[in-house]
Every structure is written in C-alpha cells, then in structure tokens.
Amino acid sequence: MQSITDDYAVSADKSRLDLPFIHHFLSTEAYWSYNIPMETVRRSVENSLCFGVYLGMQQVGFARIITDYATIAYLGDVFIVSEHRGKGLSKRLIGEIMSHPGLQGLRRWILLTGDAHGLYRQFGWLPVAKPEIYMEIAIPNIYA
C-alpha cells in the first residue's frame, strides 16, 4: 500500500529551497517569527542545515538545524503549510532530520515549541531535565 507521503520528498539540498515561500510563511503565519525580514531569513538559511518538503517541485514545508555537527543541534523554523498538514509530513520531516548522517552522535538536541510537543515526544524529545542550568536572552516581538 502506497502512503500519501510517498508523493512527497524531503531534501537537504539548499538549491531546491524556495526562499520567498519560506520568508512568506515565517513572516506572516509563524507565531515565533512574525514580520521577520527577508534578509534575516536568507542569512539564517545560509548558515544552517536546511530541509525542504516538496510535492513535485512545489515546496510545502521547511525546517532548519543550527549545529556544530559534533556536539549540539538546535531545531527551528519547522513548518508544513496548512493545506498539506494531516498527512504525516511533519513526522517524516523530523524522522529524516533525526537520522541525517551529519547529525549522529550529538550529545544534545534542543528546540522551542509552543504547540507541537506531541510530535516531538514521538522522537524522544522531553521537557528540559534541569531547567535551572538553562539561561537565555529572549527578545519577543523583535521584528515588530
């Protein structure tokens, strides 16, 4: 039996990424990056390991990893556009990211999510075990 996700592809080939598509979603639909400038998106893509989700040549999803490829990876900007949700694409995307050869043997993976805890739990993600050791500088609404 062929899965609906067989019609889709996940790729880490940056040349396939549709930067205007990614910017549009991040700047207008993503609660974490509303109004993000195109130049900021471009720089973030250039300096990250990026994954696109495609139906044919059309990009329908995205995620990026900030990593040193040795000890740590931060997973961010994960999305599937609404008309392609409910098909298991986010699970496929996260599965392909987690199994990427360049990301094996890391001692720590981190991410921030406001609404997808259930998705990430399926891949072994847990709440921070020792929140008292984590610190941050957070600037909410920086793009406003």
Among 3.30.70.270, 3.40.50.300, 3.40.630.30, 3.40.50.280, name the CATH number for the domain at 4-133: 3.40.630.30
Could you report the per-residue pLDDT of 58-109, keeping only the tens digit for each?
999 999 999 999 999 999 999 999 999 999 999 999 999 999 999 999 999 9
- Domain ranges, ordered by start, for the chain: 4-133
Angle at CA of residue 38, ends 34 and 41, nearest 5°: 80
- The mean pLDDT value for 124-135 works out to 94
Q: Residue 4 has what pLDDT?
A: 58
Report pTM.
Answer: 0.93
Q: Is the pLDDT of residue 21 over 90?
A: yes
Q: What is the model's pLDDT at position 105?
A: 97
